[in-house]
Chain A
């Protein structure tokens, strides 16, 4: 049987892959996908904790699953707004590379 440590390790690995995508890629859409990966890694550890620490009644703690549900909903709203901003940005500057967006650079 997999242990809680296994799940947390997979979740952490997924989080660091998302972090690597945000840090290393220069395309703003791929950076956005990295953000989604990090959100999902957090969801995985929440569900793992809810399953491994049962409540008094012997059921998983469903509070964590409600929180994951909220996170998924907020992430969906965030994706819609973020992609709309990227489209508006592309219309204004004709680029999705973060190196070309240096107006605020000192």
Chain B
């Protein structure tokens, strides 16, 4: 059963991820990306990372993709019209991507250390929210504060960038 669920959600994520690249209309691409993120959140849940799965749905499928759709509709983008395919670009992209997939599958299938299944957890009921939170505030407190400053700087920067009279 876990294997079937894993492959269902993996296929869902990969299929909708491919949709992002192959749909012509930007709105379809963005919707496809939302579904890919939801599938990815389900994959996180199969790895017992419930907190990361929930954050993935809230931040990515919620906030970030709403921002993307908002900008697409603000700019009123049309679907790409069919243009003559640039053979050199597709050949170059195909070689890079195909080569990457070939090397990856060869490496991943040849290493015996990667063929292990999930080891059993010592305490399956342990709350990962509590563990991540404790780690965040004990071991990673300074990076956490810096992240807050980064978000503030980004917010101010976006406001400055979006003003109409950009000198």
Instruction: Give chain A's interface residues, CB within 8 Å of chain B.
Output: 1-10, 12-21, 23-27, 29-30, 32-34, 36-37, 40, 43-44, 47-48, 50-52, 54, 57-60, 62-63, 65-66, 68-70, 72-81, 83-88, 90-92, 96
**Interface set of B (CB-CB < 8 Å, partner A):** 2-3, 6-7, 10, 13-14, 17-18, 20-21, 26, 29-30, 33, 36-37, 40, 43-44, 46-49, 51-52, 55-56, 59-60, 63-64, 67-68, 71-72, 74-75, 77, 80, 89-90, 92-93, 96-97, 100-101, 104-105, 108-109, 111, 114-119, 121-123, 126, 128, 131-132, 135-136, 139-140, 143, 147, 150-151, 154-155, 157-158, 161-162, 164, 166
CB distance from A20 to the nearest CB of B (A): 5
Among A17, A51, A85, A87, the residue within 8 A (CB) of B17 is A17
Give the Cβ gap from A63 to chain B, nearest Cβ, in Å: 7
Point out the residues of chain A lying under 8 angstroms from B55, CB to CB.
69, 72
Residues in A whose Cβ lies below 8 Å from that of B131:
59, 62
**A1-B2, A5-B109, A63-B135 known; A19-B96 Cβ under 8 A:** yes
